Structure 1
């Protein structure tokens, strides 16, 4: 599984990708952000989490530098032992939340994804 961002015909990159870029450009290619490291811009800890999400839930906004383009993403952290400015890497996890704790049928969606881990 990859953490796909989209590069558009005008060179901009966004995560997640969209049918059109920020300036209306068409998608040109995908870039796997899991091959890059990022810097924590800001982070928080939530103690009132949605059903099935571990508590406390550490979340961060991170910035990737992809060939001179800044790409921001938000996601869970593997630990709360971090600081703004720390370098992190995306790591794949099988379950971002407990499939049996939600209101949807467990087979109706994917439960895996990426968390950010300090480098």
Structure 2
């Protein structure tokens, strides 16, 4: 069972999630939550922030392209995280709504660049982690520039 406070459908792009979820079918996927009212959020929430009802649906963002809203480069990073580490806020259009996701990038990006989520086997070095390696995941999603 996952200890992730965002729920079982969360998509941990940082690699900090519970290792017990390694066998699930969400590995390498970017899944947003959708409520019956139509509101979409990333990450998903147990309760819809728009209407307060359970947010039980999912929207696959992994096959979509998004646009870089902003980005920054972290030059001081946690143990095992690449340095420097470029992070971007990416906007996906879903049914007329803007859904934003934060994640690392595979290459340099600029505001307005089009990117797509790609699965990465190792976001961090398991040998350098602070918590027990078997208690966490090291794969996840980064954003890759596209033409």
Q: TM-score, normalised by structure 1?
A: 0.94
Q: Spell out, residue by residue over 1:43-71, the C-alpha distance to the aligned partner (whole angstroms, 9 max, x if none).
A: 01111111101111000001000121210
Q: Secondary structure at the match of 1:42?
A: strand
Q: Where in structure 1 do 4 or more consecutive aligned residues deviate above 3 Å?
A: none
> Any residues of structure 2 matched to 1:43-54 within 5 Å, and which?
43-54=71-82
Residue 68 of structure 1 aligns with which residue? Answer: 96
Separation (CA, whole Å) in 2 of partners of 1:69 and 1:26: 19
Separation (CA, whole Å) in 1 of partners of 2:96 and 2:137: 32
Separation (CA, whole Å) in 2 of partners of 1:50 and 1:28: 33
Aligned: 1:88 with 2:84: no
Q: Which is strand-richer, 1 or 2?
A: 1
Q: Secondary structure at the match of 1:100?
A: helix
**How many residues are paired up?**
118
Q: TM-score, normalised by structure 2?
A: 0.77
Residue 37 of structure 1 aligns with which residue? Answer: 65
Q: Secondary structure at the match of 2:62?
A: helix
Q: Secondary structure at the match of 2:134?
A: helix
Alignment RMSD: 1.0
Separation (CA, whole Å) in 2 of partners of 1:59 and 1:111: 17
Separation (CA, whole Å) in 2 of partners of 1:101 and 1:40: 30
Residue 86 of structure 2 aligns with which residue? Answer: 58
| Structure 1 unaligned blocks of 5 or more | none
Q: Spell out, residue by residue over 1:80-116, the C-alpha distance to the aligned partner (whole angstroms, 9 max, x if none).
A: 2x21000000000011111110111111111111000
Separation (CA, whole Å) in 2 of partners of 1:74 and 1:9: 24
Q: Which has the higher contact order (CA 8 A, sep 6+)?
A: 2
